[in-house]
Structure 1
Amino acid sequence: MGRLLIWIGLIVVVYWLWRRAQRPAPAKPSIGEAQPMVRCAHCGVHTPRATALSQDSQWFCSQAHLQQGASPSDR
């Protein structure tokens, strides 16, 4: 009886390992390349250059800050 249980256990383990090897690996989320960041001339928040707005060699994080212009304080 003991040998039968050992054989059944061995078969179950082999089957489990075989099924695990057959499964496709989970897809890793791709991390994009780092984008250059620019500092908003109005509020100082850093934002990706691709989404920032530019005017007179100054960068802004939103249309509202672009309209308000650069902050008078030196940040």
Structure 2
Amino acid sequence: MKYLVLLLIVVGGIWWIRQQRRPHTHTNKPSGPQVMVPCAHCGTHTPESDAVRGTQGTYCSAAHRDAHEG
């Protein structure tokens, strides 16, 4: 009986270690293709979710928006 308990503890420990080493897939990245939009200042294409919106278009950064819109 004590060998059965010992075997269960060892198997449970191995299972727990394997669960801890498994990569976690809890990311907030959108799945699938993303729409790319060009920067109105430099022309670099940026994912629409990361683009900075301005009155004259979309930009790759706030610095380019400020430089282009004045």
Q: Calculate the TM-score normalised by the size of structure 1.
A: 0.48
How is 1:1-75 mapped onto 2 (pairs within 5 angstroms)? 32-69=31-68
**Unmatched tracts of structure 2, length 5 or more:** 1-30
> Once superposed, what is the RMSD of the aligned Cα atoms?
2.4
Runs of 4+ in structure 1 displaced over 2 angstroms? none
SS where residue 33 of structure 2 aligns?
Answer: coil
Give the number of the structure whose residues are more often helix, by fraction.
2
**Unmatched tracts of structure 1, length 5 or more:** 1-31, 71-75
Compute the displacement of 1:57 (Å). 5.0
Q: Calculate the TM-score normalised by the size of structure 2.
A: 0.51
Radius of gyration: which is bigger? Answer: 1
Compute the displacement of 1:55 (Å). 1.1
Q: Tell which deviates more after alignment, 55-64 or 39-48.
A: 55-64
Identity between Structure 1 and Structure 2 (%): 41
Amino acid of the structure 1 residue aligned with 2:52 = L
